Amino acid sequence: MRVTRIGGPTALVEWEDWRILTDPTFDPPGRTYFFALGTSSRKTTGPAISLEEIGPLDVVLLSHHHHADNLDDAGRAGLSAARTVLTTVAGAKALTSDGAHPDARGLAAGDAVTLTAEGKRDLVVTATPCRHGAALTRPIVGSVVGFALSLGGAARPGLWVTGDTVMYGGLRRAATGLRPEVALVHIGAVKFPLTGPLSYTMDADDAVELIELAQPGVAIPIHVEGWSHFSQQEDAAAAVFDAAPGAVRERVRWAPLGVPVDLP
């Protein structure tokens, strides 16, 4: 498997012959985007690789469609490079109704879909639970999903993308014993001045707990730079991982932006 971290939540995964892109964000930096309840964030860095350089894709894994730090304008326009988009149920409805993609499929936690392509092993994608904030915030922040992927009916996922989520009971249960070969772990500790100490994604301490539960072969932190509402960015997160127990520390691997990383 080869993983190229592009920026924010966006990564290109090349796995056998499958080409997979997560949460496309390709707008240039400098713009301020508005979210729910008058919150906002400024994009501080652009993508390390352009959509044109990436080329055709088999599937986009879109954890949610309604926040620009997971799907911005250029990312939305670039969905056409993929044969299929997998996202939330609400996201699939929105993307098909506005013509963004003709094959956007909606998944709720626990749902699975099998993708097929000539000359490739079947790719099974199972949605995993996410909660994008404190309890009872879903009507405000909307639904989110993660994705566990396996090839050819393998019992152990080859890839797990956590999606934007805080640590909570549903995630702990899904992660325990999952043992993916590679996990892309969304962190960043998203916060807004308007909502004070409330977090909308995990911080590195949460990720340490998650890695202990899931026991991935390799954990790659993403969603940790490039936006002003990420309250814990890469250097601070790296310090937490460096101080983590050895069983966690040895699993964490930082992928430099724009540099393909080959994984066993």
Mean pLDDT of 13-26: 98
- Residue 221 phi/psi, 5-degree rounding, is -70, 135
Establish if 261 belongs to a structural domain: no
Is residue 208 helix, strand or coil?
helix
Tell me how far apart the alpha carbons of residues 149 and 226 are, in angstroms, rounded to a whole number.
26
Asked, for residue 262, whether it belongs to a domain, the answer is no
Side-chain-facing half-sphere of 219: CA atoms under 13 Å: 28
pLDDT in tens, 110-121: 999 999 999 999
Q: How confident is the model at residue 122 (pLDDT cuts 50, 70, 90)?
A: very high
157 domain-assigned? yes
pLDDT at 136: 81
pTM of the model: 0.97
Mean pLDDT estimate for the chain: 97
Cα–Cα distance for residue pair 54/50, rounded to 1 Å: 7
Query: At which residue do the structure tokens 């490079």 appear?
Result: 81
263 occurs within a structural domain? no
* Distance separating alpha carbons of residues 107 and 7, to the nearest angstrom: 25
Residue 136, domain extent: 2-254
Q: What is the mean pLDDT of residues 96-100?
A: 96
| Distance separating alpha carbons of residues 20 and 84, to the nearest angstrom | 10
Quick check: is 222 in a domain? yes
pLDDT at residue 140 above 90?
no
Residue 140 maps to a domain: yes
> What is the number of domains present in the chain?
1
3-class DSSP state for residue 105? strand
- Which residues on adjacent β-strands are paired with residue 21? 12, 60
What's residue 46's pLDDT? Answer: 97
The β-bridge relationship of strands 18-22 and 10-15 is antiparallel
pLDDT digits 0-9 by tens, 208-262: 999 999 999 999 999 999 999 999 999 999 999 999 999 999 999 999 999 999 9
Asked if residue 131 is part of any domain, the answer here is yes
Specify the CATH number for the domain of residue 106: 3.60.15.10
Q: Please give the structure tokens belonging to residue 126.
A: 């199972």
pLDDT of residue 264: 81
